Amino acid sequence: MSELLNFHIPKYFSKNLRKEMGELYASSTISNLALAVTSIFEPIFLYNVLHFTVPLVLLFMAVVYATYIVMIPFGGKFASNFGYRHSIALSVPFQIFYWLALLASISHPMYAFLAAPILALQKSFYWPGFHSVMAYYGQTEQVGREFGAMYALENLSLVGGPLIGGIFAQYFGMPSVFLLAAIIYCFSIIPLLLAAEVFVPRSYTFKQTRELYKTFPKKFLGYLGFGDELLVLTVWPIFIYLVATNYKDTGLLAAGASLVATIVALFLGKVTDTYTKRVMVKIGAFFNAIFWVGRFFCHNFITTFTADSLSRTSRETLFIPLSTLTYLRAEATHVVPYAVFFEQSLAIGKLSACLIGALLFYFTGSFMVLFIVAGGYSLLYMYI
């Protein structure tokens, strides 16, 4: 079966995909479908079911990223010592425990704050392994297409996932969404275990990552721009829900906007391998900031759908070349220290966005203020 994963992907996808990349594609497609079923509904669950305020939702995420900043070097050390795919596989039970903790929080809301560090542990094992596989096994001349293909597969999941999640939440209740996602997610481990990982352990200490902060101060500043992503994954879903007024229409809106982004991802992955990546990052960052301000005019389903579609399109323009630059840089070094540097830097950006966003919303009660903050974070990507 593992040979089937090493398929030839035509045209806009990568050519002559390495077996390790094929296995990562398969695992990520399954896990992304599970995550897509729940991701837009998790902040809505905290807001609508547990009755968290918007500042409290942001503080929940602050706990996640504060823990993640501390734990990510340990995840990098595990990946260096025991293998990249083993690290990804170890993250699977933590994701499932996270969803189960959210389910338990329906009866006991404080379990939600137990869920937060569990999610941080999942990230700590998953992302060093994921980035290292992409950087180590990706082929330099087509790494943009390889990440573009990965991003397109993720977006395909984001078309089906929110629709499924919205229907289940609407007709069977939010617990059914988490249970369905957990079942799907279990299967993501299978492609990772189809063949033994050929891996030579490498020494990793946080000192190697700390040196990268001194070497790439502008990249650190640029990665802080991921505070924008934190707000688009937490505050924006709640806003969509308030406009759509029910789970099913919320899922429908997100699915339609993701369909537009999927088509764009296939094209941009190929373009990224041909044209100047830093220029594309700057263009994407600029328009992403503009489209955050454009959310000021969202007051019904159509305007919100348009804003979400434009936002996702600008993010494609930004994130595919950004990730390509990151993987090319990591490939030129020991991949794990750079993967930890990347993830820890973005986690610092997301933690700061949580704290600033929570404080501003507490005093203003305005989503528009948070949209301005997100636009400001987006401009930081230009430093990458």
**Structure confidence by residue, pLDDT tens digits, 155-179:** 677 788 999 999 999 999 999 999 9
The 3-state DSSP class for residue 245 equals coil
Distance CA 134, CA 258 (A): 23
Q: Within 10 Å of residue 91's Cβ, how many Cβ atoms? A: 22
The model's confidence at residue 98, banded by pLDDT at 50, 70 and 90, is: very high
Q: Give the start-to-end residue ranges of the domains of the chain.
A: 18-187+209-383
Q: What is the pLDDT of residues 174-190, one digit of tens each?
A: 999 999 999 999 999 99
Tell me the average pLDDT across 311-319.
83
112-139 pLDDT, tens digit each: 989 999 999 999 999 998 888 877 665 5
Neighbours of 246 (CB within 10 A): 12
Total residue length of the chain: 384
CB 308 within 8 A of CB 254: yes
Separation of alpha carbons 36 and 181, rounded Å: 8
**pLDDT in the model for residue 169:** 96
- In which residue are the tokens 């082929």 written? 139
Within 10 A of 84 (CB to CB), how many other CB atoms are there? Answer: 28
Quickly list DSSP for 328-364.
Answer: HHHHTS-HHHHHHHHHHHHHHHHHHHHHHHHHHHHHH
Alpha-carbon distance of 213 to 210, in angstroms, equals 5
User: How large is the average pLDDT for residues 319-325?
Assistant: 76
Q: What is the pLDDT of residue 12?
A: 42
Residue 251: per-residue pLDDT: 95
Is the model's pLDDT at 142 over the cut of 70?
no
pLDDT digits (tens, 9 = 90+) for 19-53: 667 787 788 889 999 999 999 999 999 999 999 99
Question: Directed axis angle between helix 227-244 and helix 367-379, to 10°?
Answer: 150
The residue type of 309 is S
Kindly tell me if the per-residue pLDDT of 17 is higher than 70. no
- Residue 362 scores a pLDDT above 70: yes
Indicate whether 231 pLDDT > 50. yes
Nearest-angstrom CA–CA distance, 128 and 122: 11
Q: Tell which CATH architecture fits domain 18-187+209-383.
A: Up-down Bundle (1.20)
User: Tokens representing 72?
Assistant: 């990510």
What gap in Å lies between CA 116 and CA 102, rounded to an integer? 9
Which of 147-151, 280-284, 313-317, 339-343 has the lowest average pLDDT? 147-151
Who wins on pLDDT, 5 or 363? 363
**With bands split at pLDDT 50, 70 and 90, how would you rate the model's confidence at 4?**
very low
8 φ, ψ (degrees, to nearest 5): -90, 120
Average pLDDT for 290-298: 94
Q: Which residue has the tokens 């955050």?
A: 292
Find out whether 165 and 36 touch, Cβ atoms under 8 Å.
yes
> What pLDDT is stored for residue 269 in this prediction?
56
**If pLDDT is split at 50, 70 and 90, which confidence band does 61 have?**
very high
Q: How far apart are CA 103 and CA 95, in angstroms?
A: 13
Q: What is the pLDDT of residue 323?
A: 75
Nearest to 193 by CA among 98, 35, 80, 83: 83
Global pTM value = 0.89
The tens digit of pLDDT for each residue in 203-222 reads 899 999 999 999 999 999 99
